[in-house]
Structure 1
Amino acid sequence: MFVYDGVRLMDVAAPLEVFGTAAGLGGAYSTAVCSADGGPVITSTGTRLHADVPAAEVGRTHTLVVPGSDDLPHRPPPAGLLDAVGELAGGERSRRIASVCTGAFALAAAGLLDGRRATTHWRHAAALARRYPAITVDPDAIFVRDGRTYTSAGVTAGIDLALALVEDDEGVELAREVARDLVVFLQRPGGQSQFSVAARTPSPRHDGLRGLLREVTADPAADHSLPALARRGGLSARHLTRLFNEQVGSTPAAYIESVRLEAAKALLEAGETVTGAARRSGLGSDESLRRVFLRQLGVTPSAYRSRFRTTAPAS
């Protein structure tokens, strides 16, 4: 793990936790933290992080991980950082190279991503694509593998990336045990749009509408037809629709479908059958569930459910 001043602490800690947990469960991992000069660095939180070794003294390495920082998307990496990354990644010194979050900007500046697919934090994906046109940037991927190079999305996506590396090295059973120990998904659902519907919905100013949204979230399978919502909210259907459009940013039907889709995803992730997920989420039949999944996610419910058996992308 290569660290430097301003490095984001979670980008460092999350993969190290995965590899350390895998080692405790029998995986053949040992980890070391290196900095350009072997000295301590100050992380994004102000925490002092001590290195084990200078970059120049690192021998042949199985995996080099370069975490991100808030500065990398906005200004060129310092010369010392680029020199160290180029030295650590050059030739056959590192068998594979991985970046977490905006660490992709360091790999890109060192020329390690030219002609490859890559990803980074969704907020900075467009900047990466503009600055380095030789890279094919996937703004929604949680992580991308292209040859010996791996890149991941923002911050906690370093966990997803590290789990995938463990699966590559040691097999899916150990990766699954690590995920269970850390209480995380073996493969998280969807792309970088990981916020829940409730979390990304602005809080309505209207008290009655806020109450209705809570009811929908609490029981997606209940009767949330427009007449039923209007009756419970003491509003006319027209007024309620206007409130949704003004304060939620969608129609009642679109909002309810998004909540039910989220509920169905969670059920499938937990191992529920397609039929059970359709019924318990409020989407009704298998066919209704299939139509919503294909329209909103571009995959069938069965294909979505299969993603939780491995970190490998569904075919």
Structure 2
Amino acid sequence: MHRIGYLLGDRFQVMALASQSVFEYANIAAGETFYSIENFSVAGGEVRSSLGMAVGTRPLGGRMAIDTWIAAGVNNPLTAPPSAEVLKFLRKAAMRARRIAGICTGGFVLAEAGLLANRRATTHWAYAREMMGRFPDIQLDEDRIYVVDGPIWTSAGMTAGLDLALGMVEKDLGADIARSVAHKLVMHQRRSGGQSQHSEMLDLAPKSDRIQDALNYARKHLSRPLTVEELASQAHLSPRQFSRVFTLETGQSPAKAIEGLRLEAARLMIEKSRHSLEVIAKETGFRDRRHMREVFMRGFGVPPREMRREARPGER
């Protein structure tokens, strides 16, 4: 039996408990009790969730034979740092447990314990830059649903915790069981961890009007090549100045940002229009359909055709 311990702190984000259903249904699909689940807190007893619901927990301590520890997040990790007892416990647990995970902002708990140092990780998009600033030794993949680096697993926010749990089930019991669980839980698409967390359009948010003007121009002319020189002229800057200011304000190079805008526009067209993939590639500025597919695989982890199939069943 594989024992899973959920580490809950005061006002933990209640969505973390939803991921326990993944392990519950894995047992059903496997026809045996492969997973056992217990909730823990520093002192044990009742712990209040972000919704105010009380959950019973066991106290931490002793040499507990837990295979997987999962740290739940909180709605705002900046105002609810983990206790010294939790950090000390996790450092010891990391030497004994098979794997340790942080769901949503639970990644901050692992980071504070030093478990993410020099590792790849992710967290809720709203706190990604805060994590990068506070823990520069983390290789943060801020645009990923979940990340696995050796024995350390981290997920993005909210429902991404279900994807992380399902990834564990696939690792432990195989793809057939994972698909069965996803089907029973009516998970629309089993996401493998490579999909984007959020909209590129919302994430750039430059501080100055001149960079915003250049982005507005780019959004309206995605079918064009959109060189740095062309965008710089819209901002009334030299190409060199534009590249420097753009990167400073958005955290991305102009080329990376434009690729993201093309990707987002193509995704929306695929999901909402009946245009062919060739037309969509042309309208959103990709060289051709093959180029669009390459960028989709990097950005979303699935090809355009598969995304259309999920969004519009029966179409190709």
TM superposition shift of 1:135:
1.3
Q: Which residues of 2 match residues 1-315 of structure 1 at below 5 A?
A: 1-11=6-16, 13-26=17-30, 28-51=34-57, 53-57=58-62, 59-74=64-79, 76-87=81-92, 89-92=93-96, 94-184=97-187, 185-187=189-191, 191-194=195-198, 250-251=219-220, 261-264=267-270, 279=276, 283=280, 288-294=288-294, 298=298, 303=303
Contact preservation (8 Å) 1:73, 1:124 = no
Distance 1:287 1:45 in 2: 49
CA distance in 2, matches of 1:302, 1:158: 19
Tell me the SS of whatever aligns to 1:49. strand
In 2, Cα distance between the equivalents of 1:300 and 1:96? 26
Distance, in Å, in 1 between the alignment partners of 2:141 and 2:301 is: 23
- What secondary structure sits across from 1:25 in the alignment? helix
Q: How far apart, CA to CA, are the structure 2 residues paired with 1:114 and 1:300?
A: 26
Matched to 2:106, the amino acid is G
Structure 1 residue matching 2:115: 3-state secondary structure:
coil
Change (3 A) 1:37 1:152: same
2:37 maps to a residue whose letter is T
Check whether the contact 2:8–2:40 (CA below 8 A) recurs between aligned residues: yes
Whether the 8 Å contact between 2:143 and 2:198 is mirrored in structure 1 is no
Q: Distance in 1 between matches of 2:149 and 2:163?
A: 16
Q: CA deviation at 1:4?
A: 1.2
What is the one-letter code of the residue matched to 1:159? L
Aligned counterparts of 1:298 and 1:4: Cα–Cα separation in 2: 35
- Structure 2 counterpart of 1:162, one-letter code: A
Give the letter for the 1:23 counterpart.
Answer: N
Does the 8 Å contact 1:9/1:45 carry over to 2?
yes
Asked if structure 2 preserves the Cα contact closer than 8 Å seen for 1:261 and 1:281, the reply is: no
1:151-195 Cα deviation digits (max 9, x unpaired): 111111101111110000000000011111111121168633446
Superposition TM-score, scaled by structure 2 size: 0.66
From the superposition, tell whether residues 108 and 159 of structure 1 become closer, same or farther in structure 2 (CA, over 3 Å).
same
Instruction: Give the 3-state SS of the residue equivalent to 2:107 in structure 1.
Output: helix
User: Which runs of no fewer than 5 residues in structure 1 stay unpaired?
Assistant: 201-244, 268-276, 309-315
SS of the residue 2:276 aligns to = helix
Asked whether the 8 Å contact 2:270–2:304 carries over to 1, the reply is no
257-266 vs 102-111, which moves further: 257-266
- Structure 2 distance, partners of 1:253, 1:107, is 40
Q: Offset at 1:307?
A: 9.5
Pairwise CA RMSD: 3.8
Is the Cα contact below 8 Å between 2:11 and 2:50 reproduced in 1?
Answer: yes
TM-score normalized by the length of structure 1: 0.66
Deviation of the 1:281 alpha carbon: 9.3
Describe the shift of the 1:55–1:304 C-alpha distance in structure 2 as closer, same or farther (beyond 3 A). farther
Q: 1:307 to 1:113 in 2, by over 3 A?
A: farther
**What is the deviation of 1:104?**
0.8
